[in-house]
Copies of this chain bind each other. A is one copy, B any other.
Amino acid sequence: MNGSIDLPLDVAELSFTASGDARVRRSVLPSGVRILSEHVPGVRSATLGYWVAVGSRDERAATPGATDASGRESGFGSTHFLEHLLFKGTDKRTAFDIAIAFDAVGGEHNALTAKEHTCYYAKVRDSDVGMAVDTLTDMLTSSLLDPVEFENERGVILEELAMAEDDPADVASENLFSAVLGDHELGRPIGGTPQAIREVSRNAVLEHYRANYRPQDLVITAAGAVDHDDLVARVTDALVDAGWDLDTPARPVERRTLTTSTITRRSALIVVRRPIEQVHLLVGMPGLTASDDRRMTMSVLSSILGGGMSSRLFQEVREKRGLAYTVYSFAASYSDAGIFGMYGACSAAKARQVADLMLDELRRLAADGVTDEELRRAHGQLSGASALALEESETRMSRLGRAEITLGEFIDLDESLRRLALVTAEDVRTLARDLLNQPLSLSAVGAVDDDVFAGFGEDTKE
């Protein structure tokens, strides 16, 4: 295959060429467990990911003992709390056994909670793939959620949140999401708030675990030195060993609907005053959803505007004026909403100038478009960076997970580059205009007050 391939939930087996020599195979077990692997010839390591399509956005305020129609009544912060607890022991393995398993072979082992999914992953040498499958499967299926470990981990998570609170770039970014996405559930912080973590009960986290970690929820992806048949056999053995019912047929959970939610912005301006050297500034607005046809255009736009040392933001803010060390643009997409933003960090005296420059550059894109030379360069940058990234099995493992969990479609590198080549200067200009027609928000953390940004963005409108 060259192109894209659908990943229907009720097709048991699929096999196709991914990129270069790599081959993707996908199996859906009768119980609804999905296993996708990408065998890369000649490498001696593999990355495995165990995914469930539940993230911070799916949390509701806890009502002890009650669940809503989707079974997702779990309390704010419980997704991230559960992610921590799955490392804390099963009836076969203590927390220390789990830690030892990967440390003893020099493997990498971690997890991440996102807004729409949670993923537990490991990178190991080829000879350790069996250990990784056994350990990850046991963690996912058989966590004890021990009450003593639960209270200990509450302290650890509060420290993690304290660390994030001390990171002004992190705070400014969370506030931009909140400002742009308003009361939409995507606007909440992934890790929960300290108050939510102090309040959440073991029962709420247990409820979340039972409701969302069933066979039909589980997606396993692997890339590198893996053999698909071997992987399926090992996973099946490990799931049976865990006592999971693999015989009762179940269809994989339906994917989220890829649609566009109505966003009501919470606020135009969130400024947190802190006595620090730099101001961390973000300017942003609603962006594109994960299924939006304009996502390739967005990649080109963000590459040209703020994607590297030759980008317009880097040139105007850092190279020509020496105002900042870091400045870039970014786009994040979810099933029903997205965000586009620009980030810069500078001294307080220059914060307004940098905010104005960032907006000016986006307006210049909307007014004058981009040159053919910039289009060519963006194409080269995105294709080269993709090729380098695909040398890492982590990237391929993640790509499989996103395809299965969010998109329902696998798009190979050649097809991505083909779509990229179709993006025109007019497409970029139109998208820049569309972005500027969205309500604009600004978030800042540093030694500034609201009035520094008075009237920001109100002078001219596209």
Taking a contact as CB atoms under 8 Å apart, the answer to whether B380 and A108 are in contact is no
Q: How far is the CB of A214 from chain B (nearest CB, A)?
A: 27
| Segment from A215-223, A229-237, A381-389 that makes contact with B | A381-389
Question: Measured between alpha carbons, how far is A37 from B323 in the docked complex, in Å?
Answer: 39
Taking a contact as CB atoms under 8 Å apart, the answer to whether A109 and B309 are in contact is yes
Using Cβ atoms and an 8 Å threshold, which residues of chain B touch A311? 103
A108: contacting residue among B103, B159, B388, CB under 8 A: B388
A323: contacting residue among B107, B155, B391, CB under 8 A: B155
Using Cβ atoms and an 8 Å threshold, which residues of chain B touch A42? 42
Taking a contact as CB atoms under 8 Å apart, the answer to whether A310 and B387 are in contact is no
Question: Measured between alpha carbons, how far is A381 from B165 in the docked complex, in Å?
Answer: 33
Question: Measured between alpha carbons, how far is A95 from B319 in the docked complex, in Å?
Answer: 8
Using Cβ atoms and an 8 Å threshold, which residues of chain B touch A98? 309
Question: Measured between alpha carbons, how far is A99 from B310 in the docked complex, in Å?
Answer: 5
Contact residues of A between 163 and 182, Cβ < 8 Å to B: 163, 165-166, 168
Taking a contact as CB atoms under 8 Å apart, the answer to whether B123 and A388 are in contact is yes
Q: Is A100 an interface residue (CB 8 A)?
A: yes
Using Cβ atoms and an 8 Å threshold, which residues of chain B touch A391? 43-45
Using Cβ atoms and an 8 Å threshold, which residues of chain B touch A156? 318, 322, 324-325
Using Cβ atoms and an 8 Å threshold, which residues of chain B touch A104? 310, 376-377, 380-381
Cβ proximity bits A104-133 to B, threshold 8 Å, 1 near / 0 not: 111111000000000000011100100000
Taking a contact as CB atoms under 8 Å apart, the answer to whether A96 and B45 are in contact is no
Q: Is A320 an interface residue (CB 8 A)?
A: yes
Question: Measured between alpha carbons, how far is A99 from B96 in the docked complex, in Å?
Answer: 47
Q: How far is the CB of A96 from chain B (nearest CB, A)?
A: 6
Given A166-B277, A325-B160, CB of A385 within 8 Å of CB of B320: no
Using Cβ atoms and an 8 Å threshold, which residues of chain B touch A376? 104
Question: Measured between alpha carbons, how far is A43 from B386 in the docked complex, in Å?
Answer: 15
Taking a contact as CB atoms under 8 Å apart, the answer to whether B96 and A152 are in contact is no
Q: Is A278 an interface residue (CB 8 A)?
A: yes
Taking a contact as CB atoms under 8 Å apart, the answer to whether B380 and A105 are in contact is yes
Question: Measured between alpha carbons, how far is A105 from B387 in the docked complex, in Å?
Answer: 10
Q: Is A276 an interface residue (CB 8 A)?
A: yes
Q: How far is the CB of A95 from chain B (nearest CB, A)?
A: 6
Using Cβ atoms and an 8 Å threshold, which residues of chain B touch A106? 380-388
Given A346-B159, A384-B105, CB of A309 within 8 Å of CB of B99: yes
Q: Is A261 an interface residue (CB 8 A)?
A: no
Residue of B nearest to A152 (CB): B322
A326: contacting residue among B163, B168, B309, B377, CB under 8 A: B163
Q: Is A449 an interface residue (CB 8 A)?
A: no
Contact residues of A between 80 and 107, Cβ < 8 Å to B: 87, 95-96, 98-100, 102-107
Q: Is A292 an interface residue (CB 8 A)?
A: no
Given A323-B155, A381-B103, CB of A345 within 8 Å of CB of B96: no
Q: How far is the CB of A284 from chain B (nearest CB, A)?
A: 21
Q: Is A347 an interface residue (CB 8 A)?
A: yes
Q: Is A30 an interface residue (CB 8 A)?
A: no
Question: Measured between alpha carbons, how far is A96 from B316 in the docked complex, in Å?
Answer: 11
Question: Measured between alpha carbons, how far is A53 from B104 in the docked complex, in Å?
Answer: 36
Q: How far is the CB of A20 from chain B (nearest CB, A)?
A: 8
* 24 A-B pairs (CB sep. < 8 Å): A43-B391, A95-B319, A96-B310, A98-B309, A99-B310, A103-B308, A103-B309, A103-B310, A103-B381, A104-B310, A105-B384, A106-B388, A124-B388, A155-B323, A156-B322, A159-B322, A159-B324, A159-B347, A162-B277, A163-B278, A163-B325, A163-B326, A166-B277, A166-B278
Tell me the A residues contacting B by CB distance below 8 Å.
Answer: 42-45, 87, 95-96, 98-100, 102-109, 123-125, 128, 151-160, 162-163, 165-166, 168, 275-278, 307-311, 314-315, 318-326, 345-347, 376-377, 380-388, 391
Q: Which 9 A-B pairs have the closest CB atoms?
A: A106-B384, A155-B322, A106-B385, A99-B309, A162-B277, A152-B322, A99-B310, A103-B308, A159-B325
